[in-house]
Structure 1
């Protein structure tokens, strides 16, 4: 079969169980596509064919013996921020270019236990700091819809690999929109779960109170299958919440759109820089949900102006703390011929970290320094609480909140955005991380340049099932999630 990559995750699982094809055939199909197409997209940092085929053969054994699970034999790709035993884990940085992890992240070990086959590790902004995937030491990943454009970030490799049909599903992480924004730019579905729903153990830290792993795929149904694997309590992660996990696949039809109250924050639709095509597509998708029985309710989110300054104090402060461990002593990049220990530290870090990472470390160190800690960091934490309360007040009158995922569609690689301009592009996503809420991106059409537009739905705590279900209902009534970029049609 030459079109195995066109199957949904459910169809792949059913085909494997009914022996229409083997996991080895499916895995080889994707490896062949990666070899042919990824030279143009550059979504993978490391491809692991021998490892993948060994896992596929083991999966075929389980399938033959009747011991297979729901996803046994289905391929996936991991964002290169999840530690993988025996496989290079770089976080997109020169400083970890030689790092072979001695253990698996919990997300990776859960995927292995579920019988999923790891095709490789995909590219990302260095240490997840960025919105374009251009800051990676391994070069920029391209957007499959237009190879001159960025795929978004920081999970740009995950998004591009799925959008180019180089993997059916991928893991991503979201610290300030890093699942939702690339899903929007690449026409995918991507879920950022409630903080504490997915284990962070073995996920290289950027900002520990904001980071959260989640699934990226073409449809809400595909995301639900991967979310069933990723979610759950983990004793190795002190921020993991011990709370019952839903069956996200079984719950896909549990929420009816009829009667659903969708909050429309008027502040979100009057943001300077909101592209007219993005606004139009999002409004059309909301009209469609209204036709399906939802009620649109105008709401106020009064803390909007505080999102960007609050996030860009807290996230760099936590990054400054987390990244101090990369010192050239224990592992990772080490400067050659240091004169003394101070020279080792300074040169290892200045040579090993890229410009954006250095910028955020410096901002964070400044915010945490004596004399500024109370004025900046403590104040930002207080404002963070007000942002959370703003959302909770809104959820007293609505079930979900709708917004664009990003103010624009994908921009050109090398576009001369200054850092502040790029930070403002996160306006719709970062508050969700500050408040610890779940949110999902759904593809809802294209702009005049045929670049995808995304709708973001934000839910109350632990409402992942509801978000997936609402998007699933929408995707039953529309076909935006089935659209494919031209490069994905190769070998079709």
Structure 2
């Protein structure tokens, strides 16, 4: 049982199907790991152990992830559990969820057992997982570093071996950045690939449900299990590849044309030498695998208006979230909200309807400009996820103009939330002092199969799942 922490989700489910372990045993072992390790990283902010054990007894052993323990990000409702979205203001009300989020319901149907909730910044609007409702979440690779945000709790828990896979979401880099910081696989699917649920807070299409995993095959199998529309979705259904996404693991991708970007726009934090070297290493591996790897990227991606437009749209959704909650539990008082929430709330209230409409118009033109690069003959873009190694806990508040810094670091990730394209973060290397660095691969709409295929190639050439952080559930 002590070896379960090292197994991915598919291997754990295989043990259930073979009769070697029961779902209850998987859940009990995960509970033991959480209690042993999580005090050091503070990733699990709500435990639902009794209900999880009860649910484990009812799991269908034939389900693809039968009995596999998982955790849900605190932005995603699990029925009967706290629904405070990382906000101390909301938490004081005792608010609970009336139903499961669509992603959670589909993961349960696939056999997963939810053990609890993971940390997130208030309303998910910061690139670290720190808030007044739960404190600071730390990176198991180095406890003085952040695991990122807003799915930092999910990533820290998965990297530390508490669970093999954890549910999150990506609204500007919130899966890819924590995955890169924690040496994990983090796929942001195409908008509409996994339903967020009609009427869900998808932030004008910028936000999508997702997971972090330790292996590419878990990512592929999970996508097969939960993908698909829900009645009332505004996005058109996306057809899966023949044989599902797992089929992309079983055959090498054709020779692809891959563009490489290793520098940031002039207005943003510049790419450090060690991150640039990691991108170049992965480019060389892809070239050695037979792909055509050349310098190239969509020029529109570096447009200085891309991030301000993204945050104009985001700020209005923060107003929506706060106002909707205020109608339910009463308005926040002075100091009730975290500073970053207050910042986006002010910006959203100052934005006029015409200004928001102009932003949407500009973003439509931006998507068309971005699409031209893929239609010109490129299959994938390779880039950094983040311009530097993971930041220290307490960032960005320890630096002058921290809120602006927390915006500028999204230069490589947020553009693809605006376009809705799929993008994946995969481990690239560990630095000499053991800090994870990840890289991003981006495909055209609906081509998660290419991302999974190439990520699996990289995983085979340079395996990463066997590497363990110093804080791990051994």
TM range (shorter): over 0.9
TM-score scaled by length of structure 1: 0.89
TM-score scaled by length of structure 2: 0.93
Residue equivalent to 2:406: 422
Shift of 1:255: 4.6
Give yes or no for contact 1:124–1:136 (8 Å, CA) kept in 2.
Answer: no
Give yes or no for contact 1:189–1:481 (8 Å, CA) kept in 2.
Answer: no
Residue equivalent to 1:173: 169
Alignment partners' CA distance in 1, 2:413 and 2:234: 21
Give the 4+ runs in structure 1 shifted more than 6 A.
none
Residue equivalent to 1:342: none
Give yes or no for contact 1:83–1:203 (8 Å, CA) kept in 2.
Answer: no
Residue equivalent to 2:78: 84
Shift of 1:298: 2.2
Alignment partners' CA distance in 1, 2:427 and 2:262: 21
The question of 1:243 aligning with 2:227 is answered: no
Alignment partners' CA distance in 2, 1:8 and 1:130: 29
Shift of 1:300: 4.1
Which segment is superposed worse, 447-456 or 162-171? 447-456
Residue equivalent to 1:124: 120
Alignment partners' CA distance in 1, 2:199 and 2:35: 27
Which segment is superposed worse, 187-196 or 93-102? 93-102
Change (3 A) 1:485 1:300: closer
Give yes or no for contact 2:262–2:384 (8 Å, CA) kept in 1.
Answer: no
1:190 counterpart SS class: strand
Alignment partners' CA distance in 2, 1:196 and 1:81: 19
Residue equivalent to 2:320: 321
Residue in structure 1 matching 2:278, options 281, 293, 299: 281
The question of 1:361 aligning with 2:348 is answered: no
Residues 106-156 of structure 1 deviation map (CA, whole Å, 9 limit, x = unaligned)? 111111212211111111111110001123521111011111111000000
Residue equivalent to 1:11: 11
Residue equivalent to 2:328: 330
Residue in structure 2 matching 1:409, options 389, 392, 410: 389
The question of 1:458 aligning with 2:458 is answered: no
Give yes or no for contact 2:269–2:408 (8 Å, CA) kept in 1.
Answer: no
2:201 counterpart SS class: coil
Alignment partners' CA distance in 2, 1:100 and 1:175: 23
Shift of 1:454: 0.7
The question of 1:295 aligning with 2:279 is answered: no
Could you list the runs of 5+ residues in structure 2 that have no partner in the other structure?
A: none
Alignment partners' CA distance in 1, 2:75 and 2:199: 6
1:357 counterpart SS class: helix
Residue equivalent to 1:339: none
Residue equivalent to 1:338: none
Give yes or no for contact 2:262–2:383 (8 Å, CA) kept in 1.
Answer: no
Give yes or no for contact 2:52–2:115 (8 Å, CA) kept in 1.
Answer: yes
Give yes or no for contact 2:47–2:115 (8 Å, CA) kept in 1.
Answer: yes
Change (3 A) 1:350 1:248: farther
Change (3 A) 1:254 1:353: farther
Give yes or no for contact 1:197–1:231 (8 Å, CA) kept in 2.
Answer: yes
The question of 1:383 aligning with 2:382 is answered: no
Cα-Cα RMSD: 2.0
Change (3 A) 1:203 1:226: farther
